[in-house]
């Protein structure tokens, strides 16, 4: 299944509950997703325009396999809220050594101080199974693992 930026997908959380995520940016084989906290019954047929999609709980990169296979079905499309942007990451560059900014596509930018780098994340991708487990953990429907902290918005 093809998808595009702004698509809203339904992620199964339990047999009875789903949550929504939005494609912030389509990448090569991966996707930057904003995941939202609201849980809905699987048979809830709300229009995507009526959903509160301004404050995600998670912003993460994951493989797009669950979307392309239809396991996370597309339920609609809407503009990505302006407050949700692709993050900048830190990367250690050697030589000459030191940190630089890296965008979501892997492009290197300006050098940054170690102090600024200390507040930035490394570029990582998480498996779809980790995304699903983190959502369950957030809602108390499964264990919360310390690694899930890295997915937080």
Domain that holds residue 25: 7-85+124-151
| φ, ψ at 72 (rounded to 5°) | -110, 85
Q: Identify whether 147 is part of a domain.
A: yes
Q: Identify whether 99 is part of a domain.
A: no
pTM: 0.91
**Alpha-carbon distance 104 to 127, whole Å?**
16
One digit per residue, the tens of pLDDT, for the chain of length 153 reads: 899 999 999 999 999 999 999 999 999 999 999 999 999 999 887 788 888 888 999 999 999 999 999 999 999 999 999 999 999 999 998 777 789 999 999 999 999 998 999 999 999 999 999 999 999 999 999 999 999 999 998
Task: Please confirm whether the linkage preceding 146 is cis (ω < 30° from 0).
Answer: no
Q: Identify whether 52 is part of a domain.
A: yes
Only one residue has tokens 């009526």, namely: 50
Q: Identify whether 105 is part of a domain.
A: no
Domain count, the chain: 1
Helices (H), ranges, the chain: 65-68, 114-118, 128-138
Q: Identify whether 94 is part of a domain.
A: no
Q: Identify whether 39 is part of a domain.
A: yes
Q: Identify whether 107 is part of a domain.
A: no
Q: Identify whether 37 is part of a domain.
A: yes
Only one residue has tokens 């990451």, namely: 89
């Amino acid at each position: 299944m093809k998808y595009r930026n702004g698509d809203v997908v339904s992620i199964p959380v339990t047999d009875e509950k789903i949550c929504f995520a939005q494609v912030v940016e389509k990448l090569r084989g991966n996707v930057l997703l904003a995941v939202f906290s609201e849980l809905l019954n699987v048979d809830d047929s709300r229009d995507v325009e009526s959903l509160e999609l301004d404050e995600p709980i998670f912003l993460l990169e994951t493989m797009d396999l669950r979307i392309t296979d239809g396991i996370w079905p597309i339920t609609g499309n809407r503009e990505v809220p302006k407050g949700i942007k692709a993050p900048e990451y830190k990367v250690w560059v050697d030589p000459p050594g030191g940190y630089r900014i890296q965008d979501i596509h892997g492009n290197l930018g300006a050098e940054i101080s170690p102090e600024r780098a200390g507040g930035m994340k490394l570029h990582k991708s998480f498996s779809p199974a980790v995304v699903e487990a983190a959502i369950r953990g957030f809602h108390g429907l499964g264990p919360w693992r310390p690694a899930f902290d890295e997915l937080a918005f």
